[in-house]
Amino acid sequence: MTDLAPQTTPNDAVGLPARAAALDLLTAALGGRAGMDEGLSHPALAALDGRDRAFARALVMATLRYLGPIDSALQAKVKKAPPDKVVQILRLGVAQAFVLKTPAHAAVTTSVDLVAQDKGLQMFKGLVNAVLRGLVREPPELDDPELMAPSWLYMRWRAAFGAEAAQAVAAMIAQEPATDLSLKDPSQGPVLAGDLEAEMLPGGSLRTSRRGDIATWPGFAEGGWWVQDAAAAIPARLLGVQPGQSALDMCAAPGGKTLQLAAAGAKVVALDRSAVRLKRVAENLARVALTAEVVAADAATWPDRRSFDAVLLDAPCSATGTFRRHPDVLWAAKPSDVAGLAAVQSKLLDAAARRTKSGGRLVYCVCSLEPEEGEGQVAAFLARTPGMSLDPVAADEGGAPAASVRPEGTLRILPHHLAAGLDGFYVARFRKA
């Protein structure tokens, strides 16, 4: 089994408040799309000391990463589904004992204590005790990749990428990702790589397995880099913007790709529908001392009349490719989401085409593994937009893994395409006649 390398050594010295906070966080994470983010600012978590907070977070991430196999192990032991809160406590108990390797007695006792804290659940103490003790006697197998994702998603991946690739993608759900950084000045790469004990990836991103508060890492205070997954850094590079060119980032927040375009010297308009999320763009720009025109508007109906040398559409999507850092997306996504999002994406692609100057480039990307949001979008867009043609991406251009380049020159980046992983993305580049 993968070592999840939690930020602190979880043991039986970590008390009940950490488990109670993990229960709140897990419930929030599985309760909606923004669940994990909401949960991370949960007061129960903020009230913990550093070690307990790290344990609670590691426990929830372990539970979410192994949710499919954990549920399968529990279903074999529990005949009639108990109330939701008891299910969450059982899930956390299994993750403690078999993923984080917390001593079994601590995992069982604290799980029973969590149930005991709720007056209405007293009758489930025996069940939790018996189920967890039973699993301790006969440890479950949690490594089956076919159980790692919800079955409807796994079937889709198998249909889209083939059985072998679907297994390899699902196996990545268990892996805790390293942290990837994009550099403001690529020439600083070798120095920063040394300072941060980081590996330099093909496109110029740095990958570090450092943990802890990034604000204390070398180069942060100087605004030398920002956190951005290696796959997320590829689309903006493919625009190849030159200093002084105009660029539109149509769905910009929190701003990783805006920063890349600005760092390359483009005059950037960073557009996003969410004024709240745009504050992050402004803060990020200020921290790394770059500038962009930040505009809150719906990109489909933005009344501005300008067109741009380079347009980037990083469209809202099901985000199933981001499961390495957000395993909750897999369990929050619903089959019906994909069709709804695909309709929004095609409207935004039409708007992006209108914003692109003649001879200019448009890059469309989504952090989704679902073909309707990627390959399907491109085929339909080309069919209805005569002025646009595909501008094929060459192997290893912009740091794209060779395995991700499709015959027609779009990118289907799968999480196992780089050793130690990267986010799943679909990327297509177009040229306007």
Ligand X SMILES: C[S@@+](CC[C@H](N)C(=O)[O-])C[C@H]1O[C@@H](n2cnc3c(N)ncnc32)[C@H](O)[C@@H]1O
So which residues are the catalytic ones?
367
Per rule CB under 6 A, is residue 252 in the interface with ligand X?
yes
Cα separation, 329 vs 30, whole angstroms: 9
Per rule CB under 6 A, is residue 304 in the interface with ligand X?
no
Per rule CB under 6 A, is residue 273 in the interface with ligand X?
yes
Tokens coding 61: 């991430």
Per rule CB under 6 A, is residue 321 in the interface with ligand X?
no
Neighbours of 185 (CB within 10 A): 11
Per rule CB under 6 A, is residue 328 in the interface with ligand X?
no
Upstream peptide bond of 254 is cis (omega within 30 degrees of 0): yes
Cβ proximity to ligand X: between 276 and 419 the closer is 276
Q: Smallest distance, Å, CB 243 to ligand X?
A: 21
List % helix, strand, coil for the chain (3-state, nearest 5): 50, 15, 35
Per rule CB under 6 A, is residue 150 in the interface with ligand X?
no
Q: Are 362 and 327 in contact (CB under 8 A)?
A: no
Binder of ligand X out of 109, 209, 274, 385 (CB under 6 A): 274
Q: Smallest distance, Å, CB 324 to ligand X?
A: 15
Q: Are 290 and 184 in contact (CB under 8 A)?
A: yes
Per rule CB under 6 A, is residue 254 in the interface with ligand X?
yes
Which residue number is nearest to ligand X in terms of Cβ?
Answer: 251
Tokens coding 421: 């992983």
Candidates 1-9, 100-108, 181-189, 297-305; binding stretch for ligand X (CB under 6 A): 297-305
β-bridge mates for residue 311, sequence order: 248, 362
Binder of ligand X out of 219, 256, 415, 421 (CB under 6 A): 256
Per rule CB under 6 A, is residue 363 in the interface with ligand X?
no
Per rule CB under 6 A, is residue 272 in the interface with ligand X?
yes
Q: Are 412 and 404 in contact (CB under 8 A)?
A: yes
Q: How many CA atoms lie within 13 A of 176 on its CB side?
A: 20
| Contact letters for ligand X, residues 210-239 (x by CB under 6 A) | ----------------------x-------
Cα separation, 64 vs 25, whole angstroms: 11
Per rule CB under 6 A, is residue 68 in the interface with ligand X?
no
Binder of ligand X out of 314, 337, 373, 397 (CB under 6 A): 314
Per rule CB under 6 A, is residue 397 in the interface with ligand X?
no
Cα separation, 337 vs 60, whole angstroms: 24
Sign of CA dihedral 233, 237, 243, 247: negative
Neighbours of 207 (CB within 10 A): 21
Tokens coding 20: 């109670």
Cβ proximity to ligand X: between 15 and 316 the closer is 316
Q: Smallest distance, Å, CB 314 to ligand X?
A: 4
Q: How many residues bind ligand X (CB under 6 A)?
A: 18
Q: Smallest distance, Å, CB 253 to ligand X?
A: 4
Reported as type and span, the H/E element at residue 381 is: helix 375-384
Binder of ligand X out of 172, 193, 253, 290 (CB under 6 A): 253
Per rule CB under 6 A, is residue 299 in the interface with ligand X?
yes
The residue ranges that bind ligand X (CB under 6 A) are 232, 251-257, 271-274, 277, 298-300, 314, 316
